[in-house]
Structure formats: structure tokens, C-alpha cells
Chains A and B, each alone.
Chain A
Amino acid sequence: MRIEILYPEICTLYGDKANGRYLKECLPQEEFIYTPISEYPAFLNADIDVVYICSMSEKNQEKVIEKLNGRRAELDAAFAGNTFFLMTGNAFEIFGKRILREDKSEIAGLGVFDCYSVRQSPKRFNSLTMGNFSDTEIVGYTSRFSHTFECSETPLFEVTLGSGLNPGSKKEGIERENVWATYTLGPLLIANPYFTKKLLAKIGRPADTIPYEEAMVKAYDVKKEEYKKPGLELA
């Protein structure tokens, strides 16, 4: 199995990077490829099983779009193929139809997902999020300048706490057969051990136990209870 971590030097914010590191601990025998922004992604012209891309600054969103824009045909082929994509934080926004800046100008997105995003800085949207994913609960957090609208894609999960793609939506993230994308940021896989096990099963590497599982489950259980305390402030 070949796993590509896209642009690790710029897609590295908010602790997301730990997900790639943890994935490597879960899959020590697999090949990991770290593609810098100066190079074309391997998944565009080679067999890559999993691609992970995580949170980046708004400036770097535009840079990544610029880099990938000339490769639309390969992108479409990859998303239509067997490569599995995991996206955290604001990474999935670049694959939408467009991103609207604060001054109403528009950045054309990569057009993979049927949705668009709107930035609203300096207003920062911070919130705890929680939702049901299959038979487990995801405990998460989002912190962003943007929201996503008119998304016709299937959500990754529905929130039971906090907001989804925008403050008026309970639908969080995007799920396709080969895509799990979420606004949830930070060490998602470490904070959610049961979700991680489902991810490993999804990519064809099911595991009975995962590294640090006992410690991760303890932290997860404690946090899950805290997320349910009455009068909880989300931001």
C-alpha cells in the first residue's frame, strides 16, 4: 500500500499533521510518500492507495489550487478511481466549485465537489463538534474563517453538537465511496480511536488493536462525557 501525504510543509496547521504521523504508526509496513508543494502529487500519475491532505492557511489554499488547476483531467480520474482521500480542516474547500473571498472576489475551485465556500475573516468561527458516524461518535473541533454552502454531497456525519458545513446546517463534511472529508481539525485520528479503526478497515487494513489504544480510548471517553455536560459553551 502507498500512502501520500500532500504538501506536508504547508498543509500542517492546528495539529492535523499528527494524523499522518499516527497513520504511519498504525501502518508501519506501508510506504509513505511526502509530496512537497514544488512537486506534482504522486496520485495524479501513479497508483496511490490513500491520499491525506490537512488544514492550511487561506493563502496556501490558493497556492494549492493554482498548483493543481492545470491537472483537472488527472484529478477527475483519481477521484473516479480507487484512491481513497482523507481530508481534514479546510482542505476539502479547495476541491469545491469556488471560494468567495471577503471582498466578494472569487477563486475557482478544483470542481470535484458540488459545493462552494465563503470566507468571512476577521470573524473566526470556533466550535466544538460532535456527531454520529456509523455506530460511533466523533468528538471534534472546528476553527475557521469560512463556511460551505449548497453542498449536494453526502455528509460524512450529522452533528449532534455544534454546526456542520455552515451554521445553519447539521451536515458535516463529505462522504463518497473513496472520500472522507471533514471540517474537524487537529488530531482527529488520535482523538477518535473507533473512527480510526473504521478508517483502517475502509482502506483495507483492519486492525484489532491500534497503537496507544488504551490511552486514546480513556481520553476519548472522558472527552465524550465532557461534550455532553449541560450548559456547554461551544466556542
Chain B
Amino acid sequence: MRILYHIAVFFSHLTYTLLRLLGRNASHAPGVVAMAICPRYLEMVPKARICICVTGTNGKTTAANMLTDCLTAAGYKTVSNRLGSNIAPGIAAALTNSTNWFGACKADATVFEVDERASRLILPYVKPDFLVVTNIFRDSLKRNANPDYIFSIINDYTPATTKLILNADDLASVALRPDNPRSYYGVAPLEGDITEPINLVSDNSTCPKCDTKLVYDYLRYHHIGHVHCPKCGFASPAADHLFTVPDVHGNVIYDEHNGEKTEYPLISSIVFNIYNESAVIACLSEVGLTNEKIQEIMRNTAVPDTRLKEEKIGDISVIMAMSKGQSCISSCRTFDYVSNEPGNKVVMLVLDDYYDRKNSVEFIGWIYDVDYEFMARPGVVQVAAAGPRCWDHRVRLLMAGVEEDNILCCLDELQCTELVRTDGVDKIYILYDTSTYNLAVKVKEKLIARLKREEAKCE
């Protein structure tokens, strides 16, 4: 088996080198090669001194990338899978990058973003020192089924030695592997908190001990918040790292840990990014970095901004915003944000799955878990449902209270750009799914061309 391992390392490196020469990312195939030659590759690769895995429904990419940047800035030679896949071959490829051609580890630290469903094929073999779980929400029913199922996978396959870094405000994940070492992070009451759910989807609303309806001490969105049971006394766990943000539009966040309060720069005012930053600081602290070192590196850290891309033509801003299809929580967050932005807005929905449309028909049940009701807010002057499922979106929008006159339906996304309202409009949002990004870029280009044409006519 040892010989197989060394052959696997050699060919994995060779594959990597050849693919890089061809200009490819080489973030998946070297792992496929390694695992084909040596099925126990993930287990046999010697691990770096610090091995961190990050999983969860939302925020894992952001948190993993920030951790990679921070550890690199702290002087650790860090290898991650940020350019590649987060399933087993992607992790195997990244592990190859953490070794030399002889199979010895050359990295100080590894940070792997792990797909929560694929974690059963990764965690038992990689045996991370730390596992950050950002949260567990509903996601694609085809892949992820339901949150209980995802919980059971992470719970069953996380090694007993792994220290868990858990979000104390996420009742769906706080109970993972109760006997493992753990550290909870949480965010203390914030401006704008509520105490009653406003989203259609609010899972984990009953006490896991006695089934009584839980009371929220504070709630951010969906089920993220702090709860207690009025009957049996069950409550969200106390945070070992309690983060306080005195002003969400300010620039400081405090971490209260072991009786010590440390100030860090607040790098985003968006609540889910406050959680991502909290997860990163808590993890770095648990890894053993000093507060001073974390302060120093957080000053130069940013949240990767992949969600919003804006361009202004005349008086109208055209903004692309990620809103993952079939993932109700991601879409709810984007719908909420976009509909609350100031000004008159047109929202184009370019969300219909790119692959399902080719040879199948997308199941549209997920849109009934998304708060389309946000689109009935004042200021949203038109919602343009574009794509093969536009008629389903129309029904959903009508049920949500959006006026019929404010709904545009187009089977063809590109044609939709010629029909959306532009008079009296300040912003046009193009909401896209991961599978429709390239299509959304074309939509944006065509829309911008139209706006430029109209602007030229006016001049």
C-alpha cells in the first residue's frame, strides 16, 4: 500500500504539472488520479501540523477562504482547495499540493472547504484537527434532502478527536457530536434583531428535549438566533467566543473569550458575514494564534466579494447578485437585501437551473420556501421572471401579493432584456444561480447595450 501511495503522489503531481502547463486549475483531476491509484490516498497523505475543514450550508467558501488568507498572512505555509472542488477528489488534489513529489508534507497548515454531503467520504480519512460548521439549513432537496439528514452525516463521520468550532446561534448544528471537544462562537444582540420569525422557513422552532415551541431571545433570519424553552429550560449554548458589534455600520467587532475582550476590525455590515468573520476569529484563536496576531492579520482581511457586481449606465445601475436556485435560504437572503435597497428597482430572476432545462424539467417546489413576499415591498416596481419556469414564478409572485401589472414573464432571458421596465427605474438587479452565471453575464451585457442605446437616443 505504501508503494501505491508513492505512485499515486507521483502521478498526481505529474497530472497537476501537465494541467497547469495547459493553463488549467488542476484542482480536481490530480485528486481523481491519486484516488484511482491509491484508494486510501486521503487517509495516507501525511497531514500538515494544522488541518482545518470548513463545512455547512452557507458561508463555508467565505470562511475557508478567509482562514486560508489569515493563516498565510500569519506566516503559515497554507494549502487549500479554494480553486477547486469541495468533494473528495478536490480535497485529494489539494492534499497533493501539500506534499512534495516524494509524498512528504511541505505545508504548515491546510484549510479545506468540505461539501457537507460529501463529508462522509472526507472527514473520517482527513481527520481534521478542527472542523468549522458555519450552519445547517435546507438546501437542494435532490442532493441534500433535508437538514436532519445533513446533520446525521456530519455527526456520524466526524472523528472523535476533531475539535468542533460551532455557531452557537444555529440550533441545527450546535448538537453535533456532543462528546467531541468544541468551542462555540455567537453574536450578541444586534441592532435590528427580532423575536418572532418572519421568514416562511424557520426550522428548529421546537425544543429538541420536549417539543415545546421555543422562544427567541433574539432572531436574525430563519432560525439563526438565540432560543430558550419556556417549559424545560433548554437553551442555545453559551458562546465561548461571544462577538459584540456595537454598530453594524461601524468598524469594530469585539470578541469576549475567557474573560478577555479583544477588538477586531468589522469587515462587513451584512449579518451573515459577521457570522463568517466570527467563525474565522474563533477558529484562529482555537488554533493558537494570539489575539494580537489575529488583530494584525484581520486588519488586512476582506470578505471575498463575489455576490454583487455593479455597473452604471446613465441614471440606472445594473447589478448582478447571486441567488442560488433550489437553495431557499440563499435566495431569501438575496431577495430580502435587494428589495430593501433604496430606489425604484426592477428585479430580473435568472434562476432556472441551466442543466435541468436542457433535457428535463426543474422541480419548482423550492420557490414556495422562498420569501417572494419581499418582492411586494414598495420600491420593487417590476419583477421579471425569465426562463423556462417563468409561469411558475408568476404564480408564486401573485400568491406573494405582487401586482399582476408588475410581473413580466419571458421564456427567453435575453429577450427579457428588451422588455423590462426602465423608465423611472434606479436599479436593475439580475439575480442568478450558480448554473446561470454565464447566461446572466450575457443578460447583463444585452441589457447594458439597450440602456446605452436609449441613453444615446436621449442625447
Residues of A at the B interface (CB closer than 8 Å) are: 9-10, 12-18, 21-22, 25, 36-38, 57-60, 63, 121-122, 124, 126, 128, 141, 143, 145, 185-187, 190-191, 212, 215-216, 218-219, 222-223, 226-227, 231-235
B394 contacts the other chain (CB 8 A):
yes
Set A13, A25, A219, A222: member contacting B146, Cβ < 8 A: A13
Given A36-B213, A38-B211, A141-B365, A10 and B206 touching (CB < 8 A)? yes
CB distance from A143 to the nearest CB of B (A): 5
Which of B29-37, B93-101, B135-143 forms contacts with chain A? B135-143
> Measured between alpha carbons, how far is A12 from B148 in the docked complex, in Å?
13
Instruction: Choose among B146, B363, B366, B392 the residue that contacts A57 (Cβ–Cβ < 8 A).
Output: B146
CB distance from B173 to the nearest CB of A (A): 15
In contact, B359 and A15 (Cβ under 8 angstroms): no
The 10 A-B residue pairs with the shortest CB-CB distance, nearest first, are: A186-B365, A15-B365, A15-B368, A57-B148, A18-B368, A219-B391, A141-B363, A38-B211, A59-B148, A57-B146
Say yes or no for B212: interface residue by CB 8 A criterion. yes
- Chain A residues, Cβ within 8 Å of B203: 12
A60 and B148 contact, CB distance less than 8 A: yes
For chain B, which range describes its interface: under 10, 10 to 19, 20 to 34, or 35 or more residues?
35 or more
- Chain A residues near B142: list those with CB within 8 A: 124, 126, 143, 235
| B206, B212, B365: the one within 8 Å of A187 (CB) | B365
Task: State in angstroms the CA–CA spacing of A10 and B223 once bound together.
Answer: 13
A143→B143 CA distance, assembly (Å): 9
Q: Can you report 13 A-B residue pairs in the complex whose CB atoms are below 8 A from each other?
A: A15-B367, A15-B368, A17-B368, A38-B212, A58-B148, A122-B153, A128-B363, A190-B395, A191-B392, A212-B399, A223-B391, A223-B392, A233-B360
Quick check: A227 and B361 within 8 Å, CB to CB? Answer: yes
List chain B positions with a Cβ less than 8 A from chain A: 117, 120, 138, 141-143, 145-149, 152-153, 200-201, 203, 205-206, 210-213, 359-361, 363-369, 388, 391-392, 394-395, 398-399
- The answer to whether B388 touches A226, judged by C-beta atoms less than 8 angstroms apart, is yes
A231 and chain B: residue at smallest CB distance: B359
- Bound CA span A15–B370, Å: 9
Nearest B residue to A39 via CB reads B211
Q: With A16-B365, A38-B212 known to touch, is A235 a contact of B360 (CB < 8 Å)?
A: yes
Contact status of A219 and B395, CB under 8 A, knowing A58-B149, A128-B360, A186-B363: yes
Residues on the B chain within 8 Å of A222, using CB: 391
Chain B residues whose C-beta falls within 8 Å of the C-beta of A14 in the assembled complex = 141, 365-366, 369
Chain B, residue nearest A38 (CB): B211
Distance from B190 Cβ to chain A, minimum over Cβ atoms (Å): 25
Docked Cα-Cα span, A226 to B391, in Å, equals: 13
Shortest distance between the CB of B198 and any CB in chain A (Å): 15
Contact of A185 with B394 in the complex, beta carbons under 8 Å: no
The verdict on A37 contacting B141 (CB below 8 Å), with A15-B369, A141-B363, A186-B364 known, is no
Query: Is A143 touching B391 in the complex (CB atoms < 8 A)?
Result: no
Cα distance A212–B397 in the bound complex, in angstroms: 11
Tell me the smallest distance from the CB of B126 to a CB of chain A, in Å.
19
Q: Is the CB of B206 within 8 A of A124?
A: no
- Contact status of A38 and B213, CB under 8 A, knowing A15-B368, A231-B359: yes
Residues of A within 8 A of B394 (CB): 215, 218-219
B148 touches A17 (CB 8 A): no
Please tell me if the beta carbons of A9 and B205 are within 8 angstroms of each other in the complex: yes
